Amino acid sequence: MAKLTRITTQKRNKNRYNVFLDRGDGEAYAFSVDEELLIQYMLHKGMELDEETIKTLVEKDDFHKAYSLAVNYLSYRMRSDKEMRTYLSDKEVDEEKIEYVVGRLKEEGYLNDEEFAKALVRTRVLTSSKGPMLVKKELYEKGITENGILDALEHYTFEDQIEKTTKFVQKRLKQDGKKSFKEQIQKMKQTLMQKGYTNDAIQEAISSIADEKDEDAEWEAVVVQGEKALRKYASKAEGYELRHKVKGALYRKGFPFEYIDRFIEEYVEH
């Protein structure tokens, strides 16, 4: 039997306690416990502990330390089952303790993949430019089941997509004034697809600006791009060949033929 001689509070963690025992050869530090175990086992100065009880206390404290580690990880934001298991594994917590911690957190309502998935979708809708396809990929990577993903994505409505894609194209249209309207549309479609929006939502957003083409801005863009082409080809070609090369460059940029012909007529020597 060992006699408990002293209990001290840890300096860095006021909820943990160092336990000192005398096994017949003087006082020595034996182990540490969380406050929960201290109260559960009613540890106090003068009580006697057998080796089996000491072993149980140390083992239970290891489980509690793993649980505390998980709770701290949850304090920053919600986590998925997979995220929690990966985190604890990276912290070198063994499988038995991981199962205990995950099971306890689920029972206590702190770990719930269904609620986690819904919360993540709502957050992405409110705070990010990600479309539903990218959010779906993110949920899959976090270990959410297919059914869980489908249920969660119901919170990313088609109306949400339309609102976000329309804002995007209207903002981008004002920024890309040196490109043809057609090229701007193509680039916006490509970007929105990369952001994970559905084709239907993209088409709806694009159609909303179909009548917003600014003829003056389009002509100014033709002039900017046409002059670039002239600087590029003027030293290599002249006459018909120069006009042909400039026409080709502007056509590849997506400008209408009438604008191209007007530029050639006004800016390229015949």
> How many beta carbons lie within 10 A of that of residue 207, not counting itself?
11
| In a domain? residue 55 | no
- pLDDT confidence of residue 212: 55
| In a domain? residue 200 | yes
| In a domain? residue 256 | yes
Q: Do 222 and 192 belong together in one domain?
A: no
- pLDDT confidence of residue 177: 56
Helix (H) or strand (E) holding 97: helix 95-107
| In a domain? residue 72 | yes
Residue 68's domain comprises 63-111
Q: Do 26 and 41 belong together in one domain?
A: yes
- Supply the DSSP symbol for 71: H
Which residues are within 8 A (CB) of 136 and not within 5 positions of it... i.e. 6 or more apart? Answer: 149, 153, 196
| In a domain? residue 57 | no
Q: How far apart are CA 114 and CA 111, in angstroms?
A: 9
- pLDDT confidence of residue 239: 73
- pLDDT confidence of residue 180: 72
- pLDDT confidence of residue 49: 95
Q: Do 201 and 175 belong together in one domain?
A: yes
What are 251's two structure tokens?
Answer: 């056509």
Q: Do 145 and 167 belong together in one domain?
A: no
Domain count, the chain: 5
| In a domain? residue 225 | yes
| In a domain? residue 58 | no
CATH number, domain with residue 80: 1.10.10.10
- pLDDT confidence of residue 169: 86
Q: How far apart are CA 43 and CA 16, in angstroms?
A: 13
> How many beta carbons lie within 10 A of that of residue 67, not counting itself?
21
Q: Do 119 and 79 belong together in one domain?
A: no
Q: How far apart are CA 251 and CA 249, in angstroms?
A: 5
Angle at 51 between CA 46 and CA 53, to 5 degrees: 75
CATH number, domain with residue 258: 1.10.10
Q: Do 104 and 70 belong together in one domain?
A: yes
- Supply the DSSP symbol for 178: T
- pLDDT confidence of residue 210: 61
| In a domain? residue 92 | yes
pLDDT means over runs of 10, the chain (270 residues): 95 92 94 93 95 95 94 96 98 96 97 97 95 97 97 96 90 68 83 95 82 60 73 76 77 75 71
Q: Do 128 and 97 belong together in one domain?
A: no
HSE-up of residue 165 (Cα within 13 Å, Cβ side): 31
Q: How far apart are CA 208 and CA 13, in angstroms?
A: 59
Q: Do 200 and 226 belong together in one domain?
A: no
Compute φ and ψ for 4, nearest 5 degrees.
-80, 115
